[in-house]
């Protein structure tokens, strides 16, 4: 390896990013969701976004076989939701704060924004799969978004 993994992740911690919770529902009606900050826009025409998901995650099979998924862009006071949807071995939906939103997918009414997608493709990204979503519906709220930077949650800084 050219760079020690710890050095790579420390360097990447200097890249501030959004905090999202991606959700989907499988054929049996079971809800799935994970916290992801590897979210970005990809294309304007067609309108595409992407988020990367660890191939070893418990949610991987559900998301890579889903026809649709929803990206909840968390508000700055929703760090607790981010931690819950990153925690293993719990029912992440038990808190009951997710309600049917765009495309009927589980969403947070108080999210800063939401983007509902149909699955455009699944790309190979090393130990992650890159979920590419075609934008179907969007919601833009008024809440200030949550950001993750230097391994801490915060809110966007002051513009220079
Ligand atoms: C701030 C934050 C950002 C994260 N971003 C990602 C991500 O982009 N992709 C990913 O696969 N996991 C990400 N994770 C980890 C997942 O949320 C989750 O913990 C992991 O998939 C293990 O979950 P599992 O119990 O479902 O296997 C992130 C966790 C945190 C706290």
Residues 6+ apart with CB under 8 A from 9: none
Q: Report pLDDT digits (tens) over 7-65.
A: 999 999 999 999 999 999 999 999 999 999 999 999 999 999 999 999 999 999 999 99
Confidence tier at 160 by pLDDT (50, 70, 90)? confident
- Looking at the structure, give the CATH architecture of the domain made up of residues 15-150: Roll (2.30)
Q: Residues enclosing ligand 1, CB less than 6 A?
A: 19, 34-38, 52-54, 57-59, 82, 86, 88, 148
159, pLDDT greater than 90:
no
- Return d(Cα 18, Cα 87) in angstroms, integer: 18
Q: What's the pLDDT score for residue 101?
A: 98
Exposure of 18 in the CB half-sphere (CA atoms within 13 A)? 20
* Cα distance from N-terminal residue to C-terminal residue, the chain: 38
Name which residue sits closest to atom 27 of ligand 1, judged by CA.
57
Atom of ligand 1 nearest to the CA of 53: 11
Residue spans of the domains in the chain: they are 15-150
In 3D, which of 63, 67, 22, 60 has the Cα closest to residue 40? 22
Mean pLDDT taken over the chain: 97
Q: Which tokens hold the place of 64?
A: 């890579």
Please tell me what DSSP assigns to residue 102. Answer: G
- How remote is the CA of residue 32 from the centroid of ligand 1, in Å? 13
């Amino acid at each position: 390896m050219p760079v020690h993994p710890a050095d790579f992740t420390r360097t990447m911690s200097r890249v501030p990013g959004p905090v999202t919770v991606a959700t989907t529902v499988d054929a049996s009606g079971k809800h799935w969701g994970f916290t992801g900050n590897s979210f970005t826009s990809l294309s304007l025409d067609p309108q595409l976004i992407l988020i990367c998901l660890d191939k070893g995650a418990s949610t991987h099979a559900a998301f890579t076989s889903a026809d649709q998924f929803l990206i909840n862009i968390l508000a700055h006071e929703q760090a607790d939701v981010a931690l819950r949807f990153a925690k293993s071995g719990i029912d992440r939906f038990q808190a009951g704060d997710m309600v049917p939103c765009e495309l009927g997918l589980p969403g947070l009414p108080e999210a800063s924004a939401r983007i509902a997608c149909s699955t455009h493709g699944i790309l190979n990204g090393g130990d992650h799969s890159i979920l590419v979503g075609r934008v179907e519906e969007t919601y833009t709220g008024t809440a200030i978004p949550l950001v993750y930077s230097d391994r801490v949650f915060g809110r966007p800084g002051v513009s220079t």
